[in-house]
Amino acid sequence: MGTASSDYIQMYAGNAALLAESLEVIQRTSAVILAAIQADEPTQENEAVAEVE
């Protein structure tokens, strides 16, 4: 059985608050990255408008 999650928790010396804070930063960062990727991707609506023009 894998120990990755156990190892990850041990990196934070079992400090749940510190782990939660780290995961919150990861979540916010990933949200920014995903928003940027989505902003760069043309939507079907934008593609249809471009074809008409």
- Dist CA 40 CA 7 (whole Å): 36
Q: What are phi and psi of 3, to 5 degrees?
A: -120, 15
* Domain ranges for the chain: 4-52
- Whole-number pLDDT of residue 51: 62
Q: CA 45 to CA 52: how far, in whole Å?
A: 11
Handedness of CA 17, 31, 11, 2 (dihedral sign): positive
pLDDT at 40: 77
User: Which segments in the chain show pLDDT lower than 50?
Assistant: none
Residue-level pLDDT at 49: 57
